[in-house]
Structure 1
Amino acid sequence: MCAPTHVRGIIMRCQTCGDATSPTADDCQSCHTPVGQPAVTPGLPTYPVRGLGLAASIAVGATTVFFLLQYLFPVYARGLIEQAAADRDADRLFAVVLAEVALSVPFSIAILTAGVLVIIWTWRARKNTDAFPGALPATGAGWAIAGWLVPFANFVVPAVVVGGIARDSVRRSAGGLVGLWWIAWLVFSVGERVVSVKNELAAAALPESPSTAADFQAWVDAYQRQIGRGVVPAVACVVAAAAFIVLVTWISTGQQERIARAVPAWPVVPGMMMYPGGPGLPPQQSVTAPSPQVAADPTVASPPVAPPPGGTIGA
């Protein structure tokens, strides 16, 4: 930990990471920011990201829950199909299919909502780094949006953008966490599509009106294979969601705290008085009372003011 610098009992802290700075070092020993460098460049806009990051994290978590419910549905459906086979009741199979389709609706809504919130959060967090002195973004702010949407670029660019945001926000590398999140996300997104195609092909080959024990067994086997196919995407989904939520929380907190530490745009010199309105600015006078520098209107108790020698103007 850095040795704190004391000025009249005040510990001097780095404006970037908030750690105490050493009186003998030119840079912060935690994040290597030059001592005295402001947290935010005066005059450049910043955007709140903590609330949006929380909303994005909740949406990502909800998407994960709905996907896991979809993955585990064949376990429940297999029991229904076995009961339908015992009763030779084909109508139950169609009820299983309808339930599976209905379960996909909240997942689709959740992943669409999460995608929109994540893109907005990424853009805001990337724009904030433009106001952070010492930031060296590898891409323009527009790639925080386009990187998710442009084909083939969306296999690389979002990880580069988020990694740069993490580095430029608190001057600390998060490459390991970003790499874990992105690899897990790619495994999930590609694996989920492959599994969906295989499940659709398998479902198309099932007998539409099962009547024999072999027909019902084909349905049981199809749902059993769905469970095995979905293991890898399900695990990757959980890992990607957990890593991304940690990243969003860490970056959002770091940016908000850094913005809160932003120094005033005007210089503060030793001996300058500090007021609520800013350094060197006295408290504003109330507009409902006369200024102490301006004499109030004479009242009946005020002595009359004698005219100057020579009379008045116009006399």
Structure 2
Amino acid sequence: MGGSLVMSFGTRSLPPLGAPPARSLLRSPRGLATALTVLLGVCAVTRLLLFAADAGWYLSLDGTRDTDPWGRLLAMATSLTLLAMLPTAVVFVVWFHRVRVNAGVFAPELFRRGPGWAIGIWFIPFVGWTFLAYGIATGVWAAGAPKSSRAAAPLSAAPVTAWSVSFGAAMLASLVSGRMGAAAEAQAGLRAAELVAMASDLLFVVAAGFAVLFVRKVSAMQASA
């Protein structure tokens, strides 16, 4: 009887030791992608409102119009834009980290740094938000993109590039506008700053559109992998 117990125990499967299997780290990003799509749409709408306010403020600076109504609209539009950007930024970073972890399971050889960098780069102004984010995003894209039947090469990463370039240009224009406005000593300088601000608003709208394309495409690729 004792021998049978030993034999039955010996054939019993024991729980695995060590780290969990890599694929257990996979989580679907689709829920986050849906939330991001909505939030990015709200950001685009608020940016368009801010563009209208900036345009009205620009026109009022010619000295022939009352600036007070446009100043109030500009303040309101700026507040709404910031309120929309904050939750969008948080959800985007969470999504970005999620797809980076998934990509590290699909193709770990594509990354030199750990998935924590998908969060850490957003604390590095401008360089982290552009160049470092682009590097991680292209790796995530390549890890999830299906191969072409003819060339056995990843699908074009144009959506990633379009998002990164438009987002970087929008942030740069916003920075330049702020510096110009702070240094302006006459209405001509303020009007020039407003023109750059209007360009920044439109670039942010374009970047939001490309971000939706990038987010939904990557999420779909990972969900079907």
Partner of 2:132: 157
- Superposition map of 1:1-315 within 5 A: 44-77=24-57, 85=64, 93-132=67-106, 134-138=107-111, 139-151=113-125, 152-171=127-146, 172-202=154-184, 205=185, 218=187, 224-258=191-225
Partner of 2:17: none
Deviation of 1:253 after TM superposition, in Å, equals: 0.9
Please give the alpha-carbon distance, in whole angstroms, between the structure 2 residues aligned to 1:181 and 1:85. Answer: 39
Deviation of 1:110 after TM superposition, in Å, equals: 1.1
- TM superposition outliers: structure 1 runs of 4+ over 4 Å: 77-82, 221-224
1:158-206 CA-to-partner distances (Å, cap 9, x unmatched) read 111111111111343443222222111111111112112323444xx46
1:177–1:243 Cα contact (<8 Å) kept: yes
Distance 1:200 1:66, change over 3 A: farther
Please give the alpha-carbon distance, in whole angstroms, between the structure 2 residues aligned to 1:180 and 1:254. Answer: 18
1:247-293 CA-to-partner distances (Å, cap 9, x unmatched) read 111111111122xxxxxxxxxxxxxxxxxxxxxxxxxxxxxxxxxxx
Please give the alpha-carbon distance, in whole angstroms, between the structure 2 residues aligned to 1:198 and 1:136. Answer: 44
Counterpart residue identity of residue 47, structure 1: R
2:97–2:115 Cα contact (<8 Å) kept: yes
Please give the alpha-carbon distance, in whole angstroms, between the structure 2 residues aligned to 1:163 and 1:230. Answer: 29
Between the two proteins, what is the percent identity of the paired residues?
A: 18
Counterpart residue identity of residue 207, structure 2: A
Aligned residues: 196
Deviation of 1:224 after TM superposition, in Å, equals: 4.9
**Partner SS state of residue 195, structure 1:** helix
1:34-79 CA-to-partner distances (Å, cap 9, x unmatched) read xxxxxxx775221121110121222222222212221221433467
Counterpart residue identity of residue 242, structure 1: G
Please give the alpha-carbon distance, in whole angstroms, between the structure 1 residues aligned to 2:129 and 2:60. Answer: 40
Please give the alpha-carbon distance, in whole angstroms, between the structure 2 residues aligned to 1:74 and 1:124. Answer: 36
Deviation of 1:81 after TM superposition, in Å, equals: 7.1
Larger helix proportion, structure 1 or 2? Answer: 2
Please give the alpha-carbon distance, in whole angstroms, between the structure 2 residues aligned to 1:42 and 1:194. Answer: 45
**Partner SS state of residue 174, structure 2:** helix
Partner of 2:9: none
Counterpart residue identity of residue 142, structure 1: G
2:58–2:195 Cα contact (<8 Å) kept: no
Please report the TM-score for the alignment, with normalisation by the length of structure 1. 0.54
1:74–1:224 Cα contact (<8 Å) kept: no
Unaligned runs of 5+ in 2: 1-20, 147-153
Greater C-alpha radius of gyration: 1
1:45–1:128 Cα contact (<8 Å) kept: yes
2:51–2:202 Cα contact (<8 Å) kept: no
